Amino acid sequence: MPVAWWFGALTIPQLYVVALVQGASQAFANLAQVSALPRVVTRAQITAAQAFNQASNGVATVLGPALGATIIGLGATTPAGAAYGYSFDTMTYAFSMIALVSVATRLQAPRAATGPNGRTGLGRLRADIAEGLRYLWNDPDLQGMMAMNFVHRMLLGSLVLGAIVLAQSTLKASTQEIGWVLTAGGGGSLVAAFVATRLRARFAIWPLMIVVVFANAAGFAILAGAPHIFVAMAGMAVATFCESLTGIVQVAFRLAAIPDALQGRVNSAYRWVAYTGMTVGAAGGGFMLDHLGPRSALAIAAGAMGGLGVAVLGLRARRTRTHPPAIATG
């Protein structure tokens, strides 16, 4: 993209293509990273390892806006600065590739050359996908978590855009103050990364998830009613803390529960549902922001998030009554 800009050949369709390729590549890379994690650490270390991954993302979120603004400021114009920024981003991908090839551990378990019934090629691919979907469909905990995650991610789709529009149009914040709000979000992610391992060790998965969803609703509500930029920062920090914590806990739970041979297939199906929720949420959030304004849009998201918490709490209570835990006998 910077090369096209330097030659004066950059067009809007090219930006669409770049965004599509970037999004698809990120999805594949993220899926591969998550699925390979059990090959790098033990099952008992998965939560801590995923928390470390989230911490690195949080650091990038905190430092990235400031670094990006600095690089863009080096250009004589904003487009020139953006070209510098994308060039720097390209170099970071090169460093990431070097780091990846230096990993000595085999990131995928050895696989047979042919699948069940001697299938190869597209036949094996279809059979592998079907096997992953069957496993996901037959696991009630993964099913329930996937459904909850779809709604949760859909509601989170309006968070960042809503916070920016609220800060800019309602609170009349400067560009620097908007950066503070986004930095507060990165700080919330960092805190989640540091406490996730301790919380997961002390609490069962579903009670923890339910509490976090309710807390996420509170974060949205604080943001929706924020009278000042510092209150908006607090709401953003709470919301991103909860978002990051749910991500860490869910990933760790899935990686520990799914057999190694099925990690990629089950996680890809699970994440497809999550990405669908994020896409729907971003589109719906943009529509509400445009027609209702940021406060109303964020308030609706807060109410829906609270409703999600109530629904999950009710379903889990019903499941507990229907399928009570077995009592050990001597």
| Average pLDDT estimate for 146-157 | 89
Alpha-carbon gap, residue 46 to 53, rounded angstroms:
10
Same domain (yes/no): 165, 288: yes
Q: Say which residue, 216 or 125, is predicted with more confidence.
A: 216
What radius of gyration, in Å, describes the C-alpha atoms of the chain? 22
Same domain (yes/no): 284, 165: yes
Residue 4 lies in a domain: no
Q: In this predicted structure, what is the pLDDT of residue 325?
A: 47
Same domain (yes/no): 129, 185: no
Q: In this predicted structure, what is the pLDDT of residue 212?
A: 92
Total structural domains in the chain?
2
For residue 259, what is the DSSP state?
A: -
Q: In this predicted structure, what is the pLDDT of residue 326?
A: 44
Q: In this predicted structure, what is the pLDDT of residue 77?
A: 81
Residue 57 lies in a domain: yes
pLDDT band at 269 (very low <50, low <70, confident <90, very high): confident
Same domain (yes/no): 292, 272: yes
Q: Which range among 40-44, 82-86, 140-144, 263-267 shows the weakest confidence by mean pLDDT?
A: 40-44
Alpha-carbon gap, residue 293 to 277, rounded angstroms:
22
Domain residues for the domain of 221 are 44-63+139-322
Average pLDDT over the chain, rounded to an integer: 82
CA distances from 181 to 25, 47, 252 (A): 28, 28, 28
Residue 93 lies in a domain: no
Residue 7 lies in a domain: no
Q: Is the pLDDT of residue 327 over 50?
A: no
Scored b (16 or more CB within 10 A) or e, 65-97 reads beebeebbeeeeeeeebbbbbeeeeeeeeeeee
Residue 199 lies in a domain: yes
Q: In this predicted structure, what is the pLDDT of residue 241?
A: 94
Same domain (yes/no): 53, 116: no
Residue 28 lies in a domain: no
Cβ-proximal residues to 253 (8 Å cutoff; 6+ apart), any chain:
141, 145, 205
pLDDT tens digit sequence for 188-200: 888 988 888 888 8
Same domain (yes/no): 222, 312: yes
Same domain (yes/no): 225, 124: no
Alpha-carbon gap, residue 290 to 288, rounded angstroms:
5
CA distances from 52 to 88, 244, 271 (A): 24, 12, 20
Q: In this predicted structure, what is the pLDDT of residue 100?
A: 80
CA distances from 272 to 36, 214, 275 (A): 18, 24, 5
pLDDT band at 231 (very low <50, low <70, confident <90, very high): very high
Q: Is the pLDDT of residue 297 over 90?
A: yes
Q: Is the pLDDT of residue 237 over 60?
A: yes
Same domain (yes/no): 119, 210: no
Q: CA 200, 237, 226, 154 torsion: positive or negative? A: negative
Overall pTM surpassing 0.85 (yes/no): no
| Average pLDDT estimate for 83-89 | 83
Same domain (yes/no): 127, 251: no
| Average pLDDT estimate for 286-309 | 93
Q: What is the CATH number of the domain that holds 192?
A: 1.20.1250.20
Q: In this predicted structure, what is the pLDDT of residue 114?
A: 57
| Average pLDDT estimate for 209-219 | 93
Q: Which range among 201-205, 214-218, 229-233, 307-311 shows the weakest confidence by mean pLDDT?
A: 201-205
Q: Say which residue, 200 or 59, is predicted with more confidence.
A: 200
Q: In this predicted structure, what is the pLDDT of residue 123?
A: 72
Q: Is the pLDDT of residue 247 over 80?
A: yes
Same domain (yes/no): 120, 147: no
For residue 327, what is the DSSP state?
A: P
CA distances from 240 to 131, 140, 160, 192 (A): 34, 27, 9, 8
pLDDT tens digit sequence for 114-131: 555 556 667 777 777 788
Residue 97 lies in a domain: no
pLDDT band at 228 (very low <50, low <70, confident <90, very high): very high
Q: Which range among 138-152, 172-186, 286-300, 311-325 shows the weakest confidence by mean pLDDT?
A: 311-325
Same domain (yes/no): 246, 118: no
Residue 212 lies in a domain: yes
89-103, 208-222, 255-269: which has the highest mean pLDDT?
A: 208-222
Q: Is the pLDDT of residue 298 over 90?
A: yes
Q: In this predicted structure, what is the pLDDT of residue 134?
A: 86
Q: What percent of the chain has pLDDT over 90?
A: 19
Same domain (yes/no): 250, 260: yes
